[in-house]
Amino acid sequence: MGDEATAGTRVLISADGTVEAVDRGHVEALLTEGRFFWLDVHRPGADDLALLRDVFRLHPLALEDVAHFNQRPKIDEYGDQALVVLYGANEDEDRLVEVHAVLSGRYLVTLHRDDCPAFADLRRRAAGQRLAADEAAALLYVVADALVDSFFPPLAAVDDRVDSLQDEILARPDDAQLAEVFRLKHQLVTWRKVVTPQRDLFARLAGGTVAVPGMSEEARRYYRDVYDHLIRIAELLEGSRDLLSGTMDVYLSTVSNRLNEVMRQLTVVATLFMPLSWVVGFFGMNFGAMVRGVDGWLAFAGLGLGSQAAAVAVMLYLFRRRGWM
């Protein structure tokens, strides 16, 4: 068995930990003998849904939920069966891993369209270990724990990226950084939409409000551990959202400060040219007395260029004294 399931793959791990062939007849034989097994289906198709309907006798409402992904984390009880919808995360991808788990005292069936390293490693570790029929709820806990813990590495990566973004924004803000901030915020909102109801689900399981087949007081303690992890993940999500909001404020403040600096420099330049424009305009008036008073280059330099240089010097002196430069 490879590290990751491929499209349309069925993996059946029997009670003694061996990976066995998956076909309709073999599954029926296992159910008849009462031997516990875990069947994992990657990208379920019509044949897999027919197997659930005809062999596992899955309730029509549960079969409808299994056929349609993008479900909310939940648990539905159907007699001796329970349908649990759980989510995990991929470290290298934005999309989440949605897992539908059908649990009974005789089997666990998991169905998913995507895969994550934590879930692939779980299948690998399960192969070669004995699966006790009286610990069906414990096996579901192991699956849920692997999926929940898969949120921690990408959340840590988001925090590291936010720190890097803040340094890059302070050095030189650009539109690409702003786009990445929005992308990360959208990613965190997507995670929050599944983490919150999943946390509430495990709060109900840990508190005994609902139960899965094979649930015991000892198993409930382990479910409380998953609930504790989900609380931590929810807190990390809120913290990351606050960091991104702060990063957005840093971006806007930095861009605003840079714009103010540019406007200040342009204002100084424009103000310096105001007296020059006045002097040029004044001497450009063709009054006879003024024209006759300018006799030679010395008079022109003193009255024309000298007055302009004096105006600029006075303006610069006033700007520096008032702290504008």
pLDDT in tens, the chain (325 residues): 334 444 457 777 776 667 766 788 888 888 888 888 888 888 888 888 999 999 999 999 999 999 889 899 999 999 889 999 999 988 666 778 999 999 988 889 999 988 777 777 777 777 666 665 556 788 888 889 999 999 999 999 888 888 888 888 888 888 888 888 888 988 999 999 999 999 999 999 888 888 788 788 888 888 999 999 999 999 999 998 888 888 888 888 877 777 777 777 777 777 777 777 766 666 665 555 555 656 666 666 676 677 777 877 887 787 777 766 6
For 13, phi then psi, to 5°, come to -110, 120
Whether 72 and 159 map to the same domain: the answer is yes
For 151, phi then psi, to 5°, come to -75, -25
Distances (CA, A) of 17 to 13, 78, 126, 146, 294: 6, 28, 7, 18, 109
Whether 217 and 272 map to the same domain: the answer is no
Please report the pLDDT score of residue 87 as a whole number.
94
Whether 249 and 177 map to the same domain: the answer is yes
Please report the pLDDT score of residue 294 as a whole number.
61
Distance CA 157, CA 77 (A): 37
Whether 163 and 220 map to the same domain: the answer is yes
Please report the pLDDT score of residue 300 as a whole number.
64
Whether 196 and 281 map to the same domain: the answer is no
Whether 274 and 250 map to the same domain: the answer is no
Distance CA 125, CA 143 (A): 11
Q: Which of 221, 255, 289 is the last residue of a domain?
A: 255
Distances (CA, A) of 324 to 253, 271, 273, 316: 20, 12, 16, 9
State both tokens at 192: 């929050």
What is the separation, in whole angstroms, between the first and last Cα of the chain? Answer: 71
Displacement of CA 188 from its chain's centroid (Å): 4
Please report the pLDDT score of residue 147 as a whole number.
92
Distance CA 237, CA 140 (A): 25
Whether 164 and 195 map to the same domain: the answer is yes
Strands (E), the chain: 10-14, 19-20, 37-42, 74-78, 81-89, 96-103, 107-112
The CATH number covering residue 38 comes to 3.30.460.20
β-pair partners for 83: 76, 102
Whether 188 and 223 map to the same domain: the answer is yes
Please report the pLDDT score of residue 92 as a whole number.
65
1 inside domain: no
Among all chains, which residue has been given the structure tokens 């989900």? 230
2 inside domain: no
Residue among 78, 212, 74, 66 nearest 138 (CA): 212
Whether 204 and 56 map to the same domain: the answer is yes
Q: Give the max Cα distance, the chain.
A: 124
Whether 286 and 201 map to the same domain: the answer is no
Domain that holds residue 305: 263-321
**Backbone angle region of 72, left / alpha / beta, with phi > 0 → left and psi within -120 to 50 → alpha:** beta
Distance CA 216, CA 135 (A): 9
User: In total, how many domains does the chain have?
Assistant: 2
**What is residue 302's DSSP assignment?**
I
Distance CA 4, CA 97 (A): 13
Residue among 84, 95, 67 nearest 139 (CA): 84
